[in-house]
Amino acid sequence: MKRLFRLSDLLAGVSYILTYFVLFSSCNNAENSKAANASEVSVQMIDTAKTQTLILELKKLFQVILSDDKEQIADIFTFPLSEEMCSIYVDDSLFNEQFKSNGNKITRAMFLRFYDAISESIQLAQVRNLIHYIPLDGLMQNDTLNYQAYNKLEPCFYSYHIEFSRDILTLRMNMNSNESYQSKTLSKYGIPKNSSEICEHDFWWIIRFDGKKLHLQNISGAD
């Protein structure tokens, strides 16, 4: 009986220890869960504040673009502009002459002098359309915003996109073919007006966000 009593005491002790560890583990897990939740909330607050700042800075940039004030718009860029930084084509012999003499770069003076042609080349009109069609506050819920300006009566149409990923903001303006368009006449190139050769073209602005300010990185396009 004495040996059995000691065995029962041992079993009771083991049971007590196991219960203690279960309770301790539960409390520890609860504390870890609280810490993880607090950390997650903190990260969410930081992301929210960052997105709010991004939207505010983007609205400031868009106000400048909408102003069509060439002096203000010139301030967006870092001069001189290289071909790698900004894909600009201007069909003007004087522009091309100055461009070559400046080492294939565009100075601020050139930008201001040839503003109308340059603004067409970098599709400022389409950027303004993007601003008109896409509400920026949507970035609080989504990293990608889209709008399709489809018109069944037109051979081509634009789709507009704002994408934000890893501190890089992309403003994208894509021209698309309207496959349903019935062309009664050919274009001046002798092909249907909704042909991909005419309608399909992508253009984008790449902007870096450092958490406080926007920095234009690249303007380019592709057929």
| Residue 45, in any domain of the structure | no
Taking only the tens place, the pLDDT of each residue in 116-154 is 999 999 999 999 999 999 999 999 999 999 999 999 999
**106 within 8 A of 122, measured Cβ to Cβ:** no
Return the amino acid letter for 7. L
| Residue 72, in any domain of the structure | yes
Alpha helices in the chain (DSSP H): 2-67, 70-74, 93-101, 108-113, 115-121, 124-133, 196-199
Closest CA to 165 of 127, 206, 131: 206
| Residue 47, in any domain of the structure | no
Taking only the tens place, the pLDDT of each residue in 75-124 is 999 999 998 888 888 999 999 999 999 999 999 999 999 999 999 999 99
Q: How many domains in the chain?
A: 1
The residue whose two tokens read 């403003």 is 171
| Residue 40, in any domain of the structure | no
| Residue 29, in any domain of the structure | no
Structural domain of 153: 53-222
| Residue 214, in any domain of the structure | yes
| pTM of the predicted model as reported, rounded to 2 decimal places | 0.77
| Residue 41, in any domain of the structure | no
CA distances from 142 to 41, 139, 158 (A): 18, 5, 21
